[in-house]
Amino acid sequence: MRKSIAITTLIAGSAMLSACGSSGLFNRDRPDEFAVQRQAPLVVPPDFSLTPPQPGAPRPADSSAAVQAQEALFGPGPNRSEVEKNTIGRAGSAAPGIRSTVGDPATNTVAKGAVTRDVIAAPEGDGREAQAVAGG
C-alpha cells in the first residue's frame, strides 16, 4: 500500500515538474514579452463640417440634463389644445407634499353615500353575479 502511494506521488510530482521545462509533455507557446510595442495616442481630427449658428436659433445646450433624459425616455410632450393649456394654467401646480397629506389618516374626507360605496364594493364579473343594491 505504501509503495503504490509513493509511486503515484513520484509520477504526479515528475509530471508537475515537467511543466516547468521548455520541452516535454506540457510544452506550450508563450508570448514574447519583449515584442510589445506602444500604440500611438489617438488624435481627433478637426471637424470642418461645423457651421456657425444661425442668429436667433435656440442654443442646443439650453435644456437641462433632466429634460433631455425625460425627452429621450418618453419622447416630446403631448400637443395640448388651448382649452387644455388654459385648464392646466388655472389649476396651477400641486403642493409638494400632497401625496403625504392625502395618505394621512387625519385627512378629512367627504362621504359620497351608500350607493357609491356599494358600486365600488360590488364583485367583478360578467354582470350576473355583480349586482349592487341602490338605496337603503
**Predicted confidence (pLDDT) per residue in 74-108, tens digit:** 887 788 899 998 998 898 888 888 877 777 778 77
Asked if residue 130 lies in contact with residue 123, where contact means CB atoms within 8 angstroms, the answer is yes
Predicted confidence at residue 128, as pLDDT, reads: 60
pTM of the model: 0.25
| CA–CA separation, 122 and 72 (whole Å) | 42
Predicted confidence at residue 52, as pLDDT, reads: 81
Given a cut of 70, is residue 112 above it in pLDDT? Answer: yes
Asked if residue 113 lies in contact with residue 94, where contact means CB atoms within 8 angstroms, the answer is no
